Amino acid sequence: MELREFRYQAGDLPLPLEVLEARMGYPAGQCPDYLRLLIREALQWAEEHSEIQGGLVVLEPVSLRKETHTLMLGGVELEIHKILFGQLRKSDAMALFLCTAGPAVGAQAEELMRRGDFLEGYILDLIGSEIVEVAMDQIQDTLERELALTGLHITNRFSPGYCGWRVAEQQKLFSFFPKGFCGVTLTEHSLMQPIKSVSGIIGIGRNVRRKAYACQACEMAHCIYRGRVVTE
Amino acid sequence: MEHLLEQIAHCIEFGKVNQASPYPPEMKGQPGADEWTLTALQQGFSPEDILQHGFIRGMDRVGEKFAAHQIFVPQMLLSAKAMTTAMRHLQPFFQSGEAKKRGTFVIGTVAGDLHEIGKNLAGMMIAGNGWDVIDLGKDVKTERFAETVRQHPGCAVGLSALLTTTMENMADTVNALKREFPMLKILIGGAPVNAAFCTEIGADFYAANPQTAVQYLKEISVGWSK
């Protein structure tokens, strides 16, 4: 089990204004100019204050139990929900991941909202989420490219808290990483701190595929990941 | 006279907080909801008229435009800021009992969930529509909701969640609150929930967006009079 580490500068990540505007709901070209300016300023602040790092652990073999929708990895039993089980069942190996944008962006967004600067806080919060997702896209793309050389493919990535996978399972997931890895810890409810962090699992195998998000398998109509395009 | 209340509604609709605020640019240098509200009070408008024909009218328009996808969350937040800033001038009248609100609305993100932007937005929209909003924050345990309801008989409650897995906590909270307060109206909202889930867990209303929450609360507060 080898732990791979990744570090990024936010300024090097693809974070076009148009994408951020779209995340806020604006159709192309319809975001007011003053908001664009605010987004640009917030993005610059976030680029200067983010500490983006992540890690990846690949584990095999994988043992899946259909009756219980569980997955045995390195002696640890992960209780994944049936939605996730269906997505991962053809995997021969699994990659567990963790990625964070660091504490500053989330904390500043919270502070702005606390003092009544709702708009500025919202924009920074959204940028923080986007940074960590785009950084994780980079990690996932790297994994996909490397595995392709050996004829292997990957699935989409899935996180505790979504697709029915309980947040409490995050405790098990974190047991595969050194304590405090990337500066990320879990609260008593198994939520990550800093809040702008993601963790989860990616299936690996000859018969799996990464696809445009598997939203048809899920009933979560307003999910933040619904319709998110895979960066292939 | 009416012109003054319309000015307040207009400033809230377009998110013009005060004269110093640079947003929206086309209103730069003009008075905002803050100054117009103060002027209205000085000219003898009642706090309830300002609330009803200024704030609520403005926030209604914001909600309608949001529901019709004519504006999006950032503009709604500017409107909410304009409203909350101006609302400070009315607070003393509500606190003294000289003016009445529609009722009390208790809102929070359920236990195990740290996401609160949607909840904050709903809370601000509801406050702008004349409700006294008690925001319990995020990761709120059932007992804290129950304790607050005990302190505010007749209130309504809003529960929010973002994670699919905290939906269970939402169900537990609804169950416990309904057991202790069978007449309590409970609204739920958030990315993973829907109308079917609302029915399944015994909540009263699923709010797909802040505006539908406002509409529902208007319906259940028909007894309220100014």
Domains of chain A with CATH codes: 3-217 (3.40.109.40)
Say yes or no to pLDDT of A1 above 60. yes
Between these two residues, B130 and A220, which has the higher pLDDT value? B130
Q: Which of B69, B73, B191 sits opposite A220 (nearest CB)?
A: B191
Q: What average pLDDT does this structure show over A219-232?
A: 52
Q: Which of A32, A167, A220 sits opposite B192 (nearest CB)?
A: A220
Say yes or no to pLDDT of A168 above 90. no
Say yes or no to pLDDT of A191 above 50. yes
Closest CA–CA distance from residue B46 to any residue of chain A (Å): 26
pLDDT at B224: 37
Q: What average pLDDT does this structure show over B118-140?
A: 90
pLDDT at A231: 41
- Residues of A with Cβ-Cβ distance to B69 under 8 angstroms: 25
Mean pLDDT computed over every residue of chain B: 90
- Residues of A with Cβ-Cβ distance to B192 under 8 angstroms: 220, 222-223
Q: What average pLDDT does this structure show over B161-182?
A: 89
- Architecture of the B103-220 domain: 3-Layer(aba) Sandwich (3.40)
Chain A touched by B191 (CB under 8 Å): yes
> Confidence band (pLDDT; 50, 70, 90) for A216?
low
What percent of chain B has pLDDT above 90? 63
Whole-model pTM: value is 0.85
A93-135 pLDDT, tens digit each: 999 999 999 999 999 999 998 888 889 999 999 999 999 999 9
Cα–Cα distance list, A95 to A51, A59, A132, A171 (Å): 23, 6, 18, 16
Say yes or no to pLDDT of B178 above 70. yes
Chain B touched by A217 (CB under 8 Å): no
Mean pLDDT computed over every residue of chain A: 89
CB contact under 8 A, B113 and A191: yes
Say yes or no to pLDDT of A213 above 70. no
DSSP annotation string for chain B? -HHHHHHHHHHHHHT---TT---SGGGTTS--HHHHHHHHHHTT--HHHHIIIIIIHHHHHHHHHHHTTSS-HHHHHHHHHHHHHHHTTTHHHHHHTSS--SEEEEEEEBTT----HHHHHHHHHHHHTTEEEEE--SSB-HHHHHHHHHHSTT-EEEEE--SGGGHHHHHHHHHHHHHH-TT-EEEEESTT--HHHHHHHT-SEE-SSHHHHHHHHHHHTTT---
- Architecture of the B2-96 domain: Orthogonal Bundle (1.10)
Among B64-68, B112-116, B188-192, the least confident range: B112-116
**CA nearest to A99, candidates A123, A135, A124, A70:** A135
Between these two residues, B53 and B165, which has the higher pLDDT value? B53
CB B159 within 8 Å of CB B166? no
> Confidence band (pLDDT; 50, 70, 90) for B121?
confident
Would strands B131-135 and A185-186 be described as parallel, antiparallel, or unpaired? unpaired
Residue intervals in chain B for CATH 1.10.1240.10: 2-96
Q: What value of ipTM does the predicted structure carry?
A: 0.81
A193-208 pLDDT, tens digit each: 999 999 999 999 999 9
What percent of chain A has pLDDT above 90? 69
Q: What average pLDDT does this structure show over B8-25?
A: 95
Residue intervals in chain B for CATH 3.40.50.280: 103-220
Cα–Cα distance list, B78 to A34, B24, B36, B74, B96 (Å): 12, 9, 16, 6, 28
- Residues of B with Cβ-Cβ distance to A28 under 8 angstroms: none
pLDDT at B1: 56
Query: Residue A65, Cβ neighbours under 10 Å: how many?
Result: 12
CB B35 within 8 Å of CB B103? no
